[in-house]
Structure 1
Amino acid sequence: MKVAVWLLALFFFAVAVTLGARYNSGYVLVVSPPYRIELSLNLLVAVLLALLFVAYFAVRLVVVTSRLPAEVSDFRARQRREKAHAAMMDGLRAFFEGRYAKAERACAAALEMEQPPEMAAINATIAARSAHELRRYSQRDEFIDKAESSAPDEVTLRLMTHAELLLDEHRPDEALKLLDALRTTGTRQHTAALRLELKARQLSRDWVAVLDLLRQLERRNALDMNLIRQWRRHAHLEGFKSRTQDPQALKEYWQNISPLDKKDSKLAAAAAHAYATLSDCGAAHQIIEQSLDDRWDSELAELYGECVENDAIRQIERAEAWLKSHPNDAALLLALGKLCTHCELWGKAQNYLEASLSVEPSYTAHLALARLYEKVGRPEPAKDHYDKGLELALRRLELD
Structure 2
Amino acid sequence: MRSLIKILIVLGVAAAVVTLVGEGPGYVLVQVGEYTLETTAALAGVALALFLFFGWEIWGLLSTALHAPSRFREARLQRRRRRSLALLEEGTLALERGESERARKLLARGGRYADRPAAFFIGAARAAHQAGEEAAAEEYLGKAQNEVLADDPAATLLRAEMEMEAGRAEHALALLSDLEKKDPDNRQLLRRLLTLYRQVEDWDALMRLLPRARKAGVLSESEAAEQMREARAQRMEQARLAGDGGTVERLWKEASRDERADSRLMAPWIRYLLSENRGQEAERALEQGLKRHWRGELVDLYLALPQAPGSAQELLQRLERWLPDHSRDPHLLTVLAQLAIAARLWGKADRYLEDVAAQENLPAEILLRLAHLFQERQKPDQALACCRRSLTALEGRVPVLAPPEADGQKEGGSAQP
Same fold (TM over 0.5): yes
2-side partners of 1:27 and 1:76: how far apart?
Answer: 55
Change (3 A) 1:153 1:340: same
Change (3 A) 1:319 1:215: farther
Q: Which residue number corresponds to residue 297 of structure 2?
A: 299
2-side partners of 1:88 and 1:358: how far apart?
Answer: 63
Matched position secondary structure for 2:42: helix
Q: Which residue number corresponds to residue 141 of structure 1?
A: 138
Q: Which residue number corresponds to residue 394 of structure 1?
A: 387
Q: Which residue number corresponds to residue 184 of structure 1?
A: 181
How big is the alpha-carbon RMSD for the aligned residues of Structure 1 and Structure 2? 3.9
Q: Which residue number corresponds to residue 196 of structure 1?
A: 192
Write out per-residue CA displacement over residues 173-194 of structure 1, whole angstroms, 9 at most, x where no aligned residue. 2222222222222x24233221
Superposed counterparts of 1:247-326, under 5 Å: 247-277=245-275, 279-309=277-307, 320=317, 323-326=320-323
Cα pair 1:173 1:200 within 8 Å, conserved: no
Superposed counterparts of 1:162-177, under 5 Å: 162-177=159-174
Q: Which residue number corresponds to residue 44 of structure 2?
A: 44
Unaligned runs of 5+ in 2: 1-7, 358-366, 394-417
Write out per-residue CA displacement over residues 178-237 of structure 1, whole angstroms, 9 at most, x where no aligned residue. 22222222x242332211111111111111222333343344553467765664454344
Cα pair 1:363 1:392 within 8 Å, conserved: no
**1:42 to partner: Cα distance:** 0.8
Q: Which residue number corresponds to residue 106 of structure 2?
A: 106
Write out per-residue CA displacement over residues 126-156 of structure 1, whole angstroms, 9 at most, x where no aligned residue. 1101101101011101111101112234622
Cα pair 2:374 2:380 within 8 Å, conserved: no
1-side partners of 2:250 and 2:43: how far apart?
Answer: 111
Cα pair 1:172 1:201 within 8 Å, conserved: no
Q: Which residue number corresponds to residue 26 of structure 1?
A: 26
**1:123 to partner: Cα distance:** 0.7
Instruction: Specify the code of the residue in structure 2 equivalent to 1:191.
Output: R
Change (3 A) 1:335 1:76: closer
1-side partners of 2:45 and 2:10: how far apart?
Answer: 19
Write out per-residue CA displacement over residues 225-259 of structure 1, whole angstroms, 9 at most, x where no aligned residue. 77656644543443233222413332233223222
Instruction: Specify the code of the residue in structure 2 equivalent to 1:140.
Output: A
2-side partners of 1:395 and 1:104: how far apart?
Answer: 48
1-side partners of 2:236 and 2:170: how far apart?
Answer: 24
Matched position secondary structure for 2:201: coil
Change (3 A) 1:17 1:42: closer
Change (3 A) 1:339 1:215: farther
Superposed counterparts of 1:363-374, under 5 Å: none
Change (3 A) 1:221 1:281: farther
Change (3 A) 1:216 1:386: farther
Change (3 A) 1:59 1:321: same
Cα pair 1:330 1:357 within 8 Å, conserved: no
Matched position secondary structure for 2:306: coil
Instruction: Specify the code of the residue in structure 2 equivalent to 1:287.
Output: A
Instruction: Specify the code of the residue in structure 2 equivalent to 1:212.
Output: R
**1:61 to partner: Cα distance:** 3.5
2-side partners of 1:394 and 1:316: how far apart?
Answer: 28
Instruction: Specify the code of the residue in structure 2 equivalent to 1:101.
Output: E
2-side partners of 1:394 and 1:351: how far apart?
Answer: 23
**1:31 to partner: Cα distance:** 4.9
**1:25 to partner: Cα distance:** 1.8
Q: Which residue number corresponds to residue 364 of structure 2?
A: none
TM-score where L is the length of structure 1: 0.76
Superposed counterparts of 1:192-271, under 5 Å: 192-220=188-216, 222-223=218-219, 231-242=227-238, 243-246=240-243, 247-271=245-269
Change (3 A) 1:219 1:389: farther
**1:261 to partner: Cα distance:** 1.4
Matched position secondary structure for 2:191: helix
Change (3 A) 1:72 1:333: closer
Matched position secondary structure for 1:273: helix
Change (3 A) 1:44 1:177: same
TM-score where L is the length of structure 2: 0.73
Write out per-residue CA displacement over residues 240-288 of structure 1, whole angstroms, 9 at most, x where no aligned residue. 3322241333223322322211111243234323444555433432321
Instruction: Specify the code of the residue in structure 1 equivalent to 2:48.
Output: L
2:125 is aligned with 1:128: yes
Instruction: Specify the code of the residue in structure 1 equivalent to 2:158.
Output: T
Cα pair 2:13 2:49 within 8 Å, conserved: no
Change (3 A) 1:366 1:70: closer
1-side partners of 2:134 and 2:370: how far apart?
Answer: 55
- How many residues get paired? 372
2:352 is aligned with 1:356: yes
Unaligned runs of 5+ in 1: 1-7, 371-382
2-side partners of 1:355 and 1:397: how far apart?
Answer: 21
Change (3 A) 1:64 1:310: closer
Cα pair 2:26 2:41 within 8 Å, conserved: yes
Change (3 A) 1:332 1:32: closer
**1:385 to partner: Cα distance:** 3.7
Instruction: Specify the code of the residue in structure 2 equivalent to 1:203.
Output: Q
Cα pair 1:244 1:277 within 8 Å, conserved: no
2-side partners of 1:69 and 1:221: how far apart?
Answer: 51
Instruction: Specify the code of the residue in structure 2 equivalent to 1:25.
Output: P
1-side partners of 2:371 and 2:127: how far apart?
Answer: 58
- Would you tell me which structure has more helix in proportion to its own residues? 1
